[in-house]
Amino acid sequence: MPKVTIDNKVYEFEGRPKLLQFCMEHGIEIPYFCYHSAMSVPANCRQCLVKVGNPQVDRATREPVLDDDGNPVIQYFPKLQTSCSMDMTDGLVVHTHRTDELVARAQRDNLEFLLANHPLDCPICDQAGNCPLQNQAYKYGPEGSRFEFDKVHKPKKIELGPRVMLDGERCINCTRCVRFTSEISKSNQLTIIERGVKNYPLTPPGVVFDEPYSMNVIDICPVGALTSKDFRFRARAWEMSKTPSIVTGTSRGSNCYYWVKDNEVMRITARTNVEVNGYWLADVDRLNYRKFNDARPLGPDMVSEGARVSTDWDGAYERAATLLRGVSGDEVLFIGSAHASVEDNYLLMKLADHVGASAPVYIPHVEAGSGDDWLVTDDKAENAQGCERLGMHPVDETVVRARLDSGAIKLVYVMDEDPVASGLFTADQLKSVDVVLHYYNTTNETFPVANVSLPAATIVETIGTFVNDQGHAQRVRPVKAIQSMNRSLMMETGLSRQDRHATPFDKWSKAENKVNCQPGWVTIPEIASRLNLDLNYKSPKAIMAEIESSNPAFSGATYDAMGLTGARLAEVGTTV
Amino acid sequence: MSGHGAEIVTLPKINPADAIPADKLVFTAEEKAQLQEYKSRYPEAEGAVMRGLWFAQEKFGFLPPEVIRLVADELGIEYARAYGVATFYTQYYKQKMGKYVLDVCTCFSCQVCGGYDMLHHLEEKLGIKPGETTDDGLFSIQGVECLGACGSAPMLQVTNGPYVFNLTEDKLDALVDSLRSGKMPPFTSVTLPQDEEEMGGNRRSDAAAVATYQTPPVAGAVE
Ligand code: SF4
Ligand code: FES
Ligand code: FES
């Protein structure tokens, strides 16, 4: 196998990888800006310089030339090379800044050039604290600058489109954003205009940067030149925690980070998962986070003597159990949810089975024709595939409506759904029956007719498994704390700097932003135990372990196997 | 440096009104065929972008966004790409220019030899700033990057045509006067050192006219 020597250490490689990509994959850090694994290599930032050479070979004998000590003589390229554009060949000898002073100096000087006209407005820049230019300037750059003259000034508040703002001065002209529009999204809405110090990216006149994937350029911009109109100036990077999870509103389960400050989701950015979403996210998937912050219930409540009264959790569990006790199994319609995790739906199935009802159905959320061929799917629910694999089926509207109208259904048990808003029933139809409702938002249209309502933890407040439309099973982690949970004790939650270093008495711990809700894997076992069914698992992990071992459709989907990037399940009906 | 203050780059108008009326914004069948011929010279359509833009500038006089878009559509390339190319080169006029465009080089060598002084002299003389056009529509001035004649710095180019070398303020005054009377400066060629033999030891066809400039034969200078 061909070999390469990097900083005096020998590595083997296959094919013809680019040197920078190879170093990235082997934990050898080299500073860089313009390179992106998914796009073409323009080698324009010049930050990734390294010294490279090949062992000298005697032309006559074809033998390597050795020096007096018997070591091969290396013939170095006359100039430093950009590692991002360097094809690796057998025998290549590479020196990074770790083993070569000239490389270190070239990287330092290059940063001085990149900063010559950079405004250094980090104190008011959204990217500060999370900025490759800032980080690398600290790490590899000079301490000062020899460019002691007025900087070139460029427009700073350019609305490129409805979602993306540009600060021309901060741009280092790496062309990543332009390459994204020409190579990845193919919208071709951006170009670099002018030249030299006047360069910056812009839409040509008459074009608005409004493509449905426009916000990806904010993620890949290595400086703070491109910012999100939605997020601008709302939080500093170090005030937020950043937790890996998946987005909602699509059945693709694109991987993302949720950024949380004071227990409110502030923004969603892309997380790389080559098997699911690559490096990208659709704009709609980034902007639908307000539902996690706004219109959240204050706590459980129930209808008592005709009036809605708030209650404590025990009161709500008891009421739900009482309602279930009062009817026979075939009089209950259980509605599970394609928005809820596999674990929660599984527990609901067990509860339905225990009371003698037929298996829960789920309400599909398919909007035909609304998807694209990329990350936006027709199916707007996150876990229809997980429901199917559990053996749940989409609700047969005509049948259940007829049963409701004929009085055959006396109790509708709804978990994390809104049958009124989705058009399954009207609110009036539900007035004649009892309704138990687990719900996310007070805007839920079934909520006004529910007899007992239990605020449910959303995907950002729970632990669970979701299966995307391609059969990729992925775990979600709690992103923000709920009232019953101390975020630093929940080991899975992403922690911000404040979480780690501050006390709960500091001003940024806003208790009022903690929602009084509970995940299904807490509430359903509570109700079940009042009906003499023991569903107390140690954790969602244990629930999933049971599903994995008992249901072949989930074979391989243990928490450990899913990890951060998920596990691809075999297609239903096939075995691995 | 002489206190110009910071350089300010301005934002181009995002939605300018069309400068060319819709009925004029067309290529004739012959012109279209010509553009296709340019396109066929390159392995990819994008290769023809510069020739195509130049062709359109010759036809329309300048390249407002709608013309750039027309060229891009005709060549089957991306409008954004064509716009980026058009803005890169000062030789493509993005707006209507004066009859005479004076491109004063303010790049390294010319700057050191007084390029900015020449530009400022023109600014004062014509009462316009770089990028502007005189009210009579006769002159536009621009500060441009190296035009590849550093050996005769400072220099300027007239309307993408002849170069005027070794500028002085007097020379600029004379140039403006002669242009006002409709007289373009003559084309001057600068040859390579190996041709100096043929040119009597001088490398420039206007050697006789340029008192300040006499290239000693290379061989002699090296001695
Ligand atoms: S705006 Fe950002 S991504 Fe685009 S060229 Fe400038 S630095 Fe690169
Ligand atoms: S990453 Fe190599 S030149 Fe930019
Ligand atoms: S610097 Fe002016 S022509 Fe080269």
The pair phi, psi for residue A361, each rounded to 5°, is -105, 170
Contacts of B145 in chain A (CB under 8 A): 195-196
State how far residue B95 is from chain A, nearest Cα, in angstroms.
Answer: 13
What per-residue confidence (pLDDT) applies to A443? 97
Between CA A416 and CA A382 the distance in angstroms is 12
| CB–CB contacts below 8 A, A to B | 79
What per-residue confidence (pLDDT) applies to A322? 97
Do the Cβ atoms of A460 and A468 come closer than 8 Å?
no
Query: Average per-residue pLDDT in chain A?
Result: 94
- Of the pLDDT bands very low, low, confident and very high (cuts 50, 70, 90), residue B217 is very low
Distance B156 CA to ligand 3 centre (A): 9
Terminal CA-CA length for chain A = 32
Q: Is the pLDDT of residue A455 over 70?
A: yes
Distance A514 CA to ligand 3 centre (A): 65
Q: Is the pLDDT of residue A153 over 70?
A: yes
Q: Is the pLDDT of residue B2 over 50?
A: no
Contacts of B13 in chain A (CB under 8 A): 205
Q: In 3D, which of A434, A393, A445 has the Cα closest to residue A412?
A: A434
Give residue limits of the domains in chain B: 29-88, 100-212
State how far residue B153 is from chain A, nearest Cα, in angstroms.
Answer: 21
Q: Is the pLDDT of residue B76 over 90?
A: yes
Between CA B3 and CA B186 the distance in angstroms is 35
Between CA A328 and CA A187 the distance in angstroms is 58
Do A151 and B6 lie within an 8 Å CB cutoff? yes
Question: Using a 6 Å cutoff on CB, does residue A177 contact ligand 1?
Answer: yes
- Of the pLDDT bands very low, low, confident and very high (cuts 50, 70, 90), residue B7 is confident
Average pLDDT estimate for B87-98: 96
Distance B137 CA to ligand 2 centre (A): 46
Q: Is the pLDDT of residue B220 over 60?
A: no
**Which chain A residue is nearest to residue B69, measuring alpha carbons?**
A204
A170 touches chain B (CB under 8 A): no
Return the ligand 2 atom nearest residue A84 CA.
2
State how far residue A202 is from chain B, nearest Cα, in angstroms.
Answer: 9
Distance A122 CA to ligand 1 centre (A): 16
Question: Using a 6 Å cutoff on CB, does residue A45 contact ligand 2?
Answer: yes
The dihedral region occupied by A486, where left means phi > 0, alpha psi between -120 and 50, and beta the remainder, is beta
Average pLDDT estimate for A447-469: 96
Q: Beta A332-335 vs A411-415: how paired, if at all?
A: parallel
Lowest mean pLDDT among A90-104, A204-218, A412-426, A562-576: A562-576
Which amino acid, one-letter code, is at A63? E
* Mutate-to-test residue for ligand 3 from B112, B147, B152, B188, highest number of ligand atoms within 8 A of CB: B147
Between CA B51 and CA B35 the distance in angstroms is 8
Domains of chain A: 3-111 (3.10.20.740), 147-292 (3.30.70.20), 301-567 (3.40.50.740)
The per-residue pLDDT for range A59-73, each reduced to its tens digit, is 999 998 999 998 999
The pair phi, psi for residue A573, each rounded to 5°, is 90, -10
The per-residue pLDDT for range A399-429, each reduced to its tens digit, is 999 999 999 999 999 999 999 999 999 999 9
B16 touches chain A (CB under 8 A): yes
Do B80 and A188 lie within an 8 Å CB cutoff? yes
Is the domain covering B29-88 a CATH 1.10.10 domain? yes
What per-residue confidence (pLDDT) applies to A239? 87
CB within 8 A of A285, min separation 6: which ones? A247, A248, A249, A250, A254, A256, A268, A375, A376
Query: Average per-residue pLDDT in chain B?
Result: 88
Between CA A463 and CA B91 the distance in angstroms is 61
Question: Using a 6 Å cutoff on CB, does residue A174 contact ligand 1?
Answer: yes
Lowest mean pLDDT among A26-35, A367-376, A490-499: A490-499
Q: Is the pLDDT of residue B203 over 90?
A: no
CB within 8 A of B80, min separation 6: which ones? A178, A181, A182, A188, A189, A190, A191, A203, A204, A207
Q: In 3D, which of A466, A514, A467 has the Cα closest to residue A490?
A: A514
Do the Cβ atoms of A572 and A388 come closer than 8 Å?
yes
Q: What angle do CA B9, B11, B14 make, to 5 degrees?
A: 165
Is the four-CA dihedral A115, A121, A123, A125 of positive or negative sign? negative
A573 touches chain B (CB under 8 A): no
- Looking from the CA of B81 toward its CB, the CA atoms found within 13 Å total 21
- Map tokens 């195509």 to a residue: B52
Question: Using a 6 Å cutoff on CB, does residue A114 contact ligand 1?
Answer: no
Contacts of A192 in chain B (CB under 8 A): 84
**Facing residue for B11 by CB, picked from A151, A155, A190:** A155
When scoring B13, B69, B88, B92 by the number of chain A Cβ atoms within 10 A, the one with the most, hence best to mutate, is B88
A157 touches chain B (CB under 8 A): no
Do the Cβ atoms of A157 and B11 come closer than 8 Å?
no
Q: Is the pLDDT of residue A503 over 70?
A: no
Partners of residue A76 on adjacent β-strands:
A53
What per-residue confidence (pLDDT) applies to B187? 84
Question: Using a 6 Å cutoff on CB, does residue A46 contact ligand 2?
Answer: yes
Is the domain covering B100-212 a CATH 3.20.190.10 domain? no
- Token digits for A91? 């025998």
Distance A367 CA to ligand 2 centre (A): 43
Which amino acid, one-letter code, is at B3? G
Distance B206 CA to ligand 3 centre (A): 19
**Facing residue for A191 by CB, picked from B6, B11, B84:** B84
- Of the pLDDT bands very low, low, confident and very high (cuts 50, 70, 90), residue A488 is very low
Is the four-CA dihedral A495, A501, A503, A507 of positive or negative sign? negative
What per-residue confidence (pLDDT) applies to A383? 97
What per-residue confidence (pLDDT) applies to A485? 72
Number of H helices, E strands in chain B: 8, 4
- Of the pLDDT bands very low, low, confident and very high (cuts 50, 70, 90), residue A11 is very high
- Helix, strand or coil, per DSSP, at residue B109: helix
B212 touches chain A (CB under 8 A): no
Q: What is the pTM of this model?
A: 0.92
State how far residue A335 is from chain B, nearest Cα, in angstroms.
Answer: 51
